[in-house]
């Protein structure tokens, strides 16, 4: 196991404490088994390494980090590795990319049941259903979701600020005061435009602006060809058609999908399109919007389809439509704070009884002013008034 310890120590030596994702302080690290799900590039690995270095602070032999696709596991299994680690004093185990390990659920269940004083943290693709593995982990694991960065986190990372999150209700009631506090320290609009193009993932500090779209395209390929291939048992032909599906969607989103038409374009069945759409949503490449009051099922056509984040829009299309980017941003931020967002009869989005209409700086309330509870999310303004809120302010919620 020396190779695993050596690799773990090498990675720990390279992780710093200048920036922590918001989830770091929300996780109950005292739980015996924790799952961290999230899209590729969202910072799951760094978060686990920071927990070891700045949270656990135990002797090196008590803590081990490794990726489940390490070549060590070509000839060793997870239970055997954990047993050896535990016998030599190990008490904190961090496993990255667990979805790459074929028998992950059964072996994690065995580890949980066999070592009551061992704490296990593992990460996985967003697409992995932790509770539907071949062994029941529902009573054993606590799951957390790590989405891409909010605009608030982007500012804190790139401008070395310390802005605190604000809730949706606080935005509704006090957005003028809050936006003034931000604009006293910086002008948000130029940074907001950069965030929409390339600021959703923490790699912004490690890559040049020109390489971000290339990196995002590589992420898409890896999610489809590797992550979903493991989880959904894709072959090369299926992976090609799923990427073709995503390309078709990227040309039109947001839109109300015609599943029969999409199936004809990529030469597959309607049922396959439904299944792949669901998998792409779970993998955090798409966001669905369902009409208010309608139930949700696997083989149900979403009423409106969006790319999961605005960076994907710029990576997949040279000049995405401005209105589409605005809507994609707001839906993304609302879903990332675990809000149930529906498609209302009037307006763009509905959260509980609040309806939000998205537009530019001149957007008015003519379409939704008959409603009792509404907001206008207006782009290209620093400050709002009354029911008109700067769009960028919705990026400060987590």
Neighbouring CB atoms inside 10 A of 379's CB total 22
Residue 111 CB contacts under 8 Å (≥ 6 apart), including other chains:
78, 79, 82, 93, 118, 120
In this structure, are strands 63-67 and 33-38 parallel, antiparallel, or unpaired?
Answer: unpaired
What confidence score (pLDDT) does residue 267 get?
A: 93
Q: Which residues are 305's β-sheet partners?
A: 255, 288
| Of 301, 303, 359, 295, the residue nearest 329 (C-alpha) | 359
CA distance 52 to 64: 9
Domain extent listing, the chain = 2-145, 154-396
Residue pLDDT tens, the chain, 398 long: 999 999 999 999 999 999 999 999 999 999 999 999 999 999 999 999 999 999 998 898 999 999 999 999 999 999 999 999 999 999 999 999 999 998 899 999 999 999 999 999 999 998 888 766 656 788 899 999 999 999 999 999 999 999 999 999 999 999 999 999 999 999 999 999 999 999 999 988 887 878 888 999 999 999 999 888 888 888 889 999 999 999 999 988 898 999 999 999 999 999 999 999 999 999 999 999 999 776 655 556 899 999 999 999 999 998 999 999 999 999 999 999 999 999 999 999 999 999 999 999 999 999 998 998 999 999 999 999 999 999 999 999 99
CATH class for the domain made up of 2-145: alpha beta
Q: Residue 72 has what DSSP assignment?
A: G
Q: What is the pLDDT of residues 296-318, one digit of tens each?
A: 555 568 999 999 999 999 999 98
Annotate 214-238 with DSSP letters as a single string.
HHHHHHHHHIIIIIHHHHH---HHH
Lookup: tokens for 140: 């054993």
Residue 208 CB contacts under 8 Å (≥ 6 apart), including other chains:
none
The phi, psi pair for 376, rounded to 5°, reads -105, 120
The pTM score is: 0.93
Is the C-alpha dihedral spanning 379, 382, 384, 389 positive or negative? positive
CA distance 33 to 120: 5
């Amino acid at each position: 196991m020396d190779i695993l310890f050596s690799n773990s120590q090498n990675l720990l030596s390279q992780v710093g404490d200048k920036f922590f994702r918001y989830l770091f302080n929300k996780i109950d690290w005292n739980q015996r088994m924790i799952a961290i799900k999230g899209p590729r590039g969202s910072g799951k690995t760094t978060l686990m390494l920071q927990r070891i270095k700045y949270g656990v602070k135990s002797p090196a032999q008590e803590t081990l980090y490794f990726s489940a696709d390490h070549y060590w596991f070509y000839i060793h299994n997870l239970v055997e590795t954990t047993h050896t680690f535990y016998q030599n004093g190990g008490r904190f185990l961090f496993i990255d990319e667990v979805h790459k390990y074929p028998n992950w659920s059964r072996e994690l269940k065995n580890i949980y049941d066999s070592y009551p004083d061992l704490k296990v943290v593992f990460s996985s693709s967003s697409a992995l259903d932790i509770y539907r593995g071949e062994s029941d982990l529902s009573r054993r694991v606590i799951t957390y979701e790590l989405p891409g960065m909010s605009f608030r986190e982007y500012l804190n990372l790139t401008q070395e600020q310390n802005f605190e999150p604000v809730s949706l209700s606080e935005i509704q009631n006090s957005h003028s005061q809050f936006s003034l506090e931000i604009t006293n320290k910086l002008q948000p609009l130029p940074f907001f435009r950069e965030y929409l193009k390339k600021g959703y993932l923490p790699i912004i500090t490690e890559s040049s602006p020109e390489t971000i779209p290339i990196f995002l395209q590589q992420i898409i390929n890896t999610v489809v060809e590797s992550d979903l291939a493991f989880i959904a048992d894709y072959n090369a032909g299926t992976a090609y058609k799923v990427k073709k599906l995503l390309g078709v969607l990227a040309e039109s989103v947001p839109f109300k999908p015609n599943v029969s038409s999409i199936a004809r374009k990529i030469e597959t069945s309607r049922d396959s399109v439904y299944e792949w759409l669901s998998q792409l949503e779970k993998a955090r490449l798409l966001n669905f919007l369902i009409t208010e009051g309608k139930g949700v099922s696997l083989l149900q056509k979403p009423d409106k389809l969006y790319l999961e984040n605005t960076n994907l829009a710029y990576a997949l299309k040279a000049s995405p439509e401005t209105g589409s980017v605005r809507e994609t941003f707001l839906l993304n931020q609302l879903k990332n704070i675990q809000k149930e967002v529906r498609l209302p009869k009037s307006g763009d989005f509905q959260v509980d009884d609040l309806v939000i209409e998205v537009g530019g700086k001149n957007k008015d309330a003519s379409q939704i002013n008959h409603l009792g509870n509404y907001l206008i999310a207006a782009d290209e303004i620093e400050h709002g008034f009354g029911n008109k809120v700067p769009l960028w302010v919705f990026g400060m919620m987590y």
